[in-house]
Chain A
Amino acid sequence: MLNDFFILMKFELLPAVIFFVLLFIKVGTAELSNASIIRLANILLFINLVAGFFYNKDGGMFGDMFHTNALIVLQKSILNLGIFIVSLQAEAWLRTHKHVIEFYLLLLSSLMGMFFMISGANLLMFYLGLELATIPLAALANFDLEKRKSSEAAMKLIMSSAFSSGLLLFGISLMYGTTGTLGFAQLPALLNGSNLQVFAFVLLFAGFAFKISVVPFHLWTADVYEGAPVPVTSFLSVVSKGAFIFVFASVLYTVFKPLADTWYHMLFLLSVLTMVIGNLFALRQQNIKRMLAFSSIAQMGFILIGISGSSQAGTASAVYFVLVYVFTNLAAFGVVALVSAQTGKEDITDYKGFHATNPVLAWVLAIALFSLAGVPPTAGFFGKFFLIMAGAAKQNYWLITIAALNMIVSLYYYLNLVKALFMDANASPVPKITFGVYAKLAIVICIAGMVLSGLASVVYEYIYNLSTGF
């Protein structure tokens, strides 16, 4: 029994252990330098990532409040990978920061919350995990303590999070009112599609839509992304969104399966809106973080298409895309983080002539943009192809046509940035950026991931075999 506890909850316990190790260092007497704290934290996060792959078991605990299986393990490992890369990339910014340990403490508690949320088999457990995941994010968004924009971002994040949590909680309570249970296992049998249940479901759906910034619940995204420190932005856009997508897909597929007709139409409508509006807004952005924010909104639209497929391929393609997205978006944000940390420049016009001074970083950013745009042979191509293919299984060709046209629009603004990097002349380009071993390692992981996770089909096949659908 105790053994089970440690194995089943390994993913949640490891961050907790790391959390306490760092906390003791913080309150202990020894004054460690930033460099050694960062080194220690990265090593611990790496161990955390590797340990996730061994000794896993399916099962539930706490009276079915908590469950885990191979797919959940994989999802948690993807998030572990994301947080490891984020931590590597944060080094350039944290090196001179006063509160390194706090950064890691907040990051880890948020991660732990996400893990509880993913493993939750009860709406209450899910909600607790969600709150634990969200509240530290607001503090993290404010981590550039002396910048006003950073506090503004934190304020916006906490307001919108509180609002969406309110919606979720309202939905959960109505759901409880109509069914008398919160357990994922019991709920499907009690759902009959009555108006009140649909209303409760819509509220829950809206709460989720806020978290993964689906139009029309996306308004907080760009401002928060712009104001928050870049490593926090990348954490928000990749790890946090990834966790919510995992939960969203699994909740729709298992708990709300009886309402599939309802949510299919909602997904259809929202995915079209999200893609179109995300892309159109991205076209006009001057700030690279805002552009990536809107592009990430548009990407969510593609993920919704995959989820709307509601087959095994639907889950598989959504999870696979999140994996690809971890590599891709973190590569893009990694370069932005380096430039921002060393020069403070964040506008697209600042990136003109970037290739002349920083050829390596320019190529890394370009490959990431190609992958975001879904151009082969990068993994982004496979990710998008499989998402749309999963959606196409419903034979709704309008949706695919709109998606295909959106890919062209998105290509335009990605290529515009590539054009700035390689083709535009600039009298005062970004100076040569130096980057240390952490950033190098992060870049190597991201590039390898972008190439291999696509071409090597085992990755997708593995995810597919773990996935379920109906």
Chain B
Amino acid sequence: MNLYWLLILPTITAFALLLGNNLKQVRMIAFGGALLQMVLAFILLFAFWQQRSAGNTAPMLFENNLSWFAPLHINFHTGVDGISVAMIMLTSFVVLSAVLVSWKMDMQYKTFFFLLIFLSIGAYGFFMSLDVFTLFFFLEIAVIPKFMLIGVWGSGKKEYSAMKLALMLMAGSALVFVGLMGLYFNTADTSGAHSFDLMQIAQMHIPVEAQMIFFPFAFVGFGIFTALFPFHTWVPDGHSSAPTAASMFLAGISMKLGGYGCLRVATFLMPDAAHAYSWIIILLSTIAIIYGAFATMMQKDLKYINAYSSVSHCGFVLLGIGMLTETSITGAVMQMVSHGLMTALFFAAIGMIYSRTHTRMVAQLGGLLKIMPFISTVFVIAGLCSLGLPGFSGFVAEMTVFMGSWQNPDTLYRLATILACASIVVTAVYILRAVGSTVMGPVTDEHYNALTDAGWYEKLAAIILIAGIVAIGIAPFWLNQLIAPVAATILKK
């Protein structure tokens, strides 16, 4: 399996889109491209399993190392381990269903699909990069398409949200950039040359003083992407102003770039600092979990509800990373995958409801189950997954985080764990309230009676995501087997 296909295919798709003459052709090309991405992701998964079961224990598989900027020791080094495979799978799921929910996009559709597919290049490239420079390159590549998607196709105060998102994410990249520079100039191999190579840096010992300075830069920088408190403020505005597909991508994948970066770059490469600063990470993530949950209770707009609950849920990711036990890190990655699928499903359902009722206000919605049973069911499933019902992925992921966190015997850490656990009750409150009053009860507006249920494309989009959620919920071991060995490697360093 050559990983470059995951970059080449979206690139070809994106440019093929521009040749399409009408919406039908364009969306078929986008759909075909996204479907092929998914096929490639599955091929990658099976090839990965095959290698692992054949006893290949190399930390990274399918490696490719091309020299890019030789004088600066920058290589186009790609390869995957279990976590990367899981994230690549997640990306392919979300991209495909994002294309499907945008089936009726009629405004500047060519550019819209181009930007959407372009975003996926950034995500795939990011997850497969083993060179910190390329990782950073792909991290930044996705910022501008998001700005354009929100600003042009968004709703509400879209310009403000787009600008806020772009500037905050760029600030995150800027911090990451400083962190990477510090990292680079503190590496030296046997010949004294600096290195950007992730696997090489992992073998070296970065001086502890340097780690203490640059870990915060890298961690906070990536943390901004994943809604680290108090830098989460772009999340609610960005998500709620974005068009459905962009919201799905933002919450489903883009926020995961941050978590992955915190784990792969900050924690993996600067372990001493990670241990020293873990209490701050835990403190901030606990605040994010609880604050996010309570803030969600006050929201009246469905998209804001999901956006704030994303802050809370992504807090679990950072909590798991901060706890620094094998189980908690495994849980953090599972939570990334699970939250990616779940939140994408949630946004898809909200988008479907909004495109019909033209409102996202909980108070104005009601009795939708009678009118659009499929969409309502999807909405309920997304809600139940979000509150952590057993059988869905959310339960597995959050449970693993809690188990892992409890392994940390320190009293304060246990207190944080208990507080985080308690937030689930709040989650249940807001989810049940929002879902209940939207789906159940009398129909609030008689115009709603004339509305239709989901089209085939919407059904397909939802089914893809639900399949992923249920697969993890019922049989979590396959995901666990991908992640746990990597978590162990990260901690062993």
Contacts and interface: CB of A to CB of B under 8 A. Distances in A.
A424 B163 CA distance: 13
B72 A313 contact: yes
A51 B175 CA distance: 45
Contact of B151 (A400, A404, A422): A422
B188 interface: no
Main secondary structure of the interface of B (DSSP, over half): helix
Interface string B230-256: 000000000000000000000000000
A460 interface: yes
Nearest to B151: A423
Contacts of A392: 181, 184-185
Contacts of B295: none
A457 B151 contact: no
Contact of A461 (B70, B159, B175, B181): B70
Interface string B460-493: 0000000000000000000000000000000000
B140 A376 contact: yes
A430 B389 CA distance: 56
Contacts of B163: 412, 415-416, 419
A408 B185 contact: no
B175 A457 contact: no
B371 interface: no
Nearest to A316: B71
A378 to B, nearest CB: 9
A455 B405 CA distance: 43
B137 A377 contact: yes
Interface string B195-230: 000000000000000000100000000000000000
B178 interface: yes
A389 B72 contact: yes
B403 interface: no
B373 interface: no
Interface stretch (B54-62, B141-149, B261-269, B341-349): B141-149
Contacts of B72: 313, 386, 389
Interface residues of A, number: 36
Interface in A281-321: 312-313, 316
B167 A457 contact: no
B181 A411 contact: no
Contacts of A461: 69-71
A457 B181 contact: no
Nearest to B147: A415
A406 to B, nearest CB: 9
A389 to B, nearest CB: 7
A244 interface: no
A416 B158 CA distance: 13
A388 B170 CA distance: 16
Interface of A: 312-313, 316, 370, 375-377, 381, 385-386, 388-389, 392-393, 395, 397, 400-401, 404-405, 407-408, 411-412, 415-416, 418-419, 422-424, 457, 460-461, 464-465
Q: Which 9 A-B pairs have the closest CB atoms?
A: A404-B174, A464-B71, A392-B181, A423-B151, A457-B69, A376-B141, A376-B140, A457-B68, A376-B137
